[in-house]
A and B are shown apart, each in its own frame.
Chain A
Amino acid sequence: MSLLHKRLFFWSLFIAFGIYTVVVFTDDAGDDMGAEYFTQEAANGKLLYQKYNCTACHQLYGLGGYMGPDLTNVMSANGRGEFIVRAFLKSGTQKMPNFNLTDDEINDLVAYLSYVDKSGISPVRDFSINADGTVEVFSNGAKE
């Protein structure tokens, strides 16, 4: 491969990557189904979620550490919900530390988790598989 070819390859990829990056940064703007639930409290909750490193043990959309459960839909899941979430945040468990959170902090975290809950589903249970290996996800509705 000549130097010219290598350079050509490299810079084509590089430019494509640049365009792609800009598109990704701006593209998903309209896709946040939970946007209307994003309050100032939720914004604070997001930062608290990072401050206490909840991500070391919990996942959102399956991403994070694996010691604890995925929290994406904990606010609306069967047998879960705000009451349970507050109880866990208040006192912790044998595996989950008690962070001695203030009431405000708990409110903010709950607001954040409520917002995330509205943004989508994880884990996905209602889907069908296409022949090409892709997946069709059904919206919030239960499995027919």
Chain B
Amino acid sequence: MNKPTSILFIITGLLALLLGIFFGAISALQFILPGFFEVLPFFKSRPLHVSLVVAWIFSAAVGGIYYYLPNHCNLPLYSKQLPRIHFALFILTGLLIIISYMLGKFGGREYWEFPPVLAIPIIMGWVLFGFNYFKTVMKKKEPWPVYLWMWATGVFFFLFTFSESYLWLLPYFRNNVIRELTVQWKSYGALVGSWNMLVYGTAIFVMEKLSNDKTVALSRLSFLMYFLGLTNLMFGWAHHIYIVPSAPWIRHFAYFISMTELLILGKLIWNFSHTIKQAKDTYGNIASRFMAAADVWIFINLILALLISIPAINIYTHGTHITVAHAMGSTIGINTMILLSSCFYIIEQTNKATGSGPNNKLIGWGFWIVNSCLLVFFISLVAAGIIKGYYTVENELSFQEIMQKTAPALTVFVATGLGIFAGMLLIVLSALRKLFR
């Protein structure tokens, strides 16, 4: 196969997405059917799920950037060789991670549950990517559109926060559980912020291309939003650890910073009618359709995120499935929709040459199945979370009693999760068929 590395990253990402959701479905079934699929118990299937879907997000974002810089930004890559090495490292590390999970060899950290040595090739890959990125974009003479800033920020902060998340290797950090949790979630909070920089940058880029309006990415408002996002990336993370008895000012400060996202909510509401109109006008275009879905999901997820960042609410919702609703609601609804939009945009571009578009009908079905299932999936997780939070804090029921009460909601969660898997199969297989051409 003689594909550009950018496309290889995207193909790998789509495969990781399918495989990741497959393991998500297994983990979910294990929730309601104890003993299901015993060869791969929950403590193996969950990390397989989370690591693979995170790999999808990074791989699709990175592949997009490798594609867009030379093809659409007039910025030929500084090195064409480095992306190949990056890709080889990515595949190799990915395989080693999957094998280590299967064998039950863990580093045992949330999100990065693989043995710590595997962080080394990951960091190497990102250094190659970052080096190439900066060498490439520094050549640009005109002012950088905001997405070039966002991608740069994403690359830098990924490297910083990913390394920071390994500070536990030092006893100073590891042997004090309060410091350990504080530093761990400081790094994770910003890490999620850094991948959002890559993904939202991609969103602004694709929207610029779809609308042919170059002014947005250079506008003052876009940069203000970027700085707001950066501030939240740097200082908002402590809303994850309100109940950890770290210094109170850390938490109060995070509460204040988190509430600045109300500005983003305000902007969304302000633009609402415009967004709806645009979605209607461009409905026929697949990339636009996924982007419109992401817009709706940003709105829904932002409201939930703002609510659970209020300590008085967080004290009930923390440690419940509401956190899972927040995590998957935004990684599927926002990140995955944006990245699918980007993938279909690239497919359209590459197919312009061959004159054949993707199978719109199947994708249309997949689109509606995924989005409607996701809505119920999201609501059922929130419901399970409310039930668990309420009975934990107010009634002090035992864990088993609470799990029984959440069982109906979790059953709906599993059923709609399988729906999401089915819908994604339609979408992703159509995309892969085009990309393999």
Contact = CB atoms under 8 A, between A and B. Distances in A.
A116 B180 CA distance: 12
B312 A133 contact: yes
Interface string A22-53: 00110111011111001000010010011111
Interface string A1-25: 1010010011001001100110011
A35 B252 CA distance: 25
Contact of A61 (B42, B107, B244, B247): B244
A28 B399 contact: no
A142 to B, nearest CB: 11
Given A24-B250, A66-B324, A133-B311, A53 B243 contact: no
Given A63-B110, A63-B240, A28 B182 contact: yes
Interface residues of A, number: 64
Interface string A123-144: 1110101100111010000000
A24 B176 contact: no
B178 A120 contact: yes
A51 to B, nearest CB: 6
B360 to A, nearest CB: 38
Interface stretch (B30-38, B74-82, B129-137): B30-38
A115 to B, nearest CB: 7
A125 B396 contact: yes
Contact of A66 (B185, B240, B320): B320
A61 B243 contact: yes
A88 to B, nearest CB: 12
Given A54-B43, A70-B319, 10 more contacts: A1-B223, A17-B235, A28-B246, A29-B176, A49-B108, A50-B106, A60-B177, A123-B319, A125-B392, A135-B315
Interface of B: 30-31, 34-35, 41-44, 46-47, 104, 106-110, 113, 143, 149, 171, 173-179, 181-183, 185-186, 220, 223-224, 227, 230-231, 234-235, 240-247, 250, 252, 255, 310-313, 315, 318-321, 323-324, 392-393, 396, 398-399
30 contacts: A1-B223, A3-B143, A10-B227, A13-B234, A21-B186, A24-B182, A31-B246, A34-B177, A38-B175, A46-B174, A50-B108, A50-B109, A51-B106, A53-B104, A56-B42, A56-B44, A56-B113, A61-B181, A61-B243, A63-B185, A63-B319, A68-B399, A79-B398, A95-B34, A116-B177, A120-B243, A122-B243, A127-B315, A130-B312, A137-B245
